[in-house]
Amino acid sequence: MAGLDGLIVASPANPTGTMLDAGELRALSEACRVADAALISDEIYHGIGYDRRAVSALEVTDDVYVVNSFSKYFSMTGWRVGWMVVPPDHVRQVERLAQNMFICAPHASQALALAAMDCTEELNGHLDVYARNRTVLLDGLARAGLTRIAPADGAFYVYADVSHLTDDALALSQEILADAGVAVTPGLDFDPHAGHHWLRFSYAQGAEAIAEGTARLVRFFEARR
């Protein structure tokens, strides 16, 4: 980690949905301390987990910048409202940077975010839909022969290794869009090196759309065998 100023980690992650446990976060925090590098924990998918709870970096260290937003669990994508937890001795520096980029979050977004914090029942209803979608998609991908999948612990993504099918995930995603009418994301959007062997599937949609999309994917991959 020599020469590193900072490390950004997201857990649950995009594109994989994979989560870090407390031990892994502690090890990263310790490595950053030794390297004198800042640790930035992007916790935007917290609250969207399946078999276990996401651990916050603040549970293992106070020496961390935690970034969060209303875009995911609170379903307020596009409203541009989020928050940061900053080590007390860095608050002033972050305030100086922030006030040069924006004055404040839009008032309407702030009012909505406040209201969203009282919508637990509705928001947890979304989690039930994601959980069902995840099962439908994982079952469908297995039937389609896509079984090399990163642990889909949280968020609403499945990241699948398609190296047995192609060296060009971008072309494969274009083929899927043209033939099956399903939009999937080539791994290249996230990883310029290994991304040409991976596809990301998002299941942040209604149950009907995910069931239909999955059925189309199964037919597409079966026809290609």
Ligand X SMILES: Cc1ncc(COP(=O)(O)O)c(C=O)c1O
CB 83, CB 69: distance < 8 Å: yes
- Considering only 24, 31, 40, 71, the residue that binds ligand X (CB under 6 A) is 71
Task: Name the E strands within 86-206.
Answer: 157-161, 185-186, 198-202
**What's the min distance (Å) between Cβ of 135 and ligand X?**
22
- Considering only 11, 29, 69, 173, the residue that binds ligand X (CB under 6 A) is 69
Report d(CA 31, CA 167) in Å as an integer. Answer: 34
Report d(CA 151, CA 86) in Å as an integer. Answer: 30
What H or E segment, with its residue span, contains residue 193?
none
- Piece in contact with ligand X (CB under 6 A), picked from 33-41, 69-77, 132-140, 179-187: 69-77
73 vs 221, which CB is nearer to ligand X? 73
| Binding residues for ligand X restricted to 34-53, rule: CB under 6 A | 42, 44
Answer yes or no whether residue 75 interacts with ligand X by CB under 6 A. Answer: no
Answer yes or no whether residue 11 interacts with ligand X by CB under 6 A. Answer: no
Answer yes or no whether residue 190 interacts with ligand X by CB under 6 A. Answer: no
71 vs 166, which CB is nearer to ligand X? 71
Answer yes or no whether residue 109 interacts with ligand X by CB under 6 A. Answer: no
According to DSSP, the residues that pair with 49 across neighbouring strands are: 154
Report d(CA 77, CA 176) in Å as an integer. Answer: 26
10 vs 64, which CB is nearer to ligand X? 10
Answer yes or no whether residue 145 interacts with ligand X by CB under 6 A. Answer: no
Count the Cβ atoms, other than its own, within 10 Å of residue 180: 18
According to DSSP, the residues that pair with 159 across neighbouring strands are: 200
Report d(CA 129, CA 143) in Å as an integer. Answer: 21
69 vs 133, which CB is nearer to ligand X? 69
Residues that bind ligand X (CB under 6 A): 10, 14, 42, 44, 69, 71, 77, 82
